[in-house]
Amino acid sequence: MTETISVRIPKELADRLSNLSKQTGRTKTYYIQETLEDKVCETL
């Protein structure tokens, strides 16, 4: 099950995320999910 959320990020970060996505062929969603999961697991 998934849930959709919306966040605002600085343009510079969005550009970096887009570039990473293009270079690796992975989606921006993939990187956002991985980063959030790592941070949440680290915090809890």
List of the chain residues with pLDDT < 50: none
pLDDT at 44: 82
Domain-located, residue 16: yes
| Contacting residues for 10 by C-beta, under 8 A, at least 6 apart | none
Please give the C-alpha separations between residue 32 and each of 20, 35, in angstroms, as whole numbers.
Answer: 11, 5
Domain-located, residue 4: no
Domain-located, residue 19: yes
Domain-located, residue 1: no
Q: How many domains does the chain have?
A: 1
pLDDT at 1: 93
Domain-located, residue 2: no
Q: Which domain holds residue 33?
A: 11-43
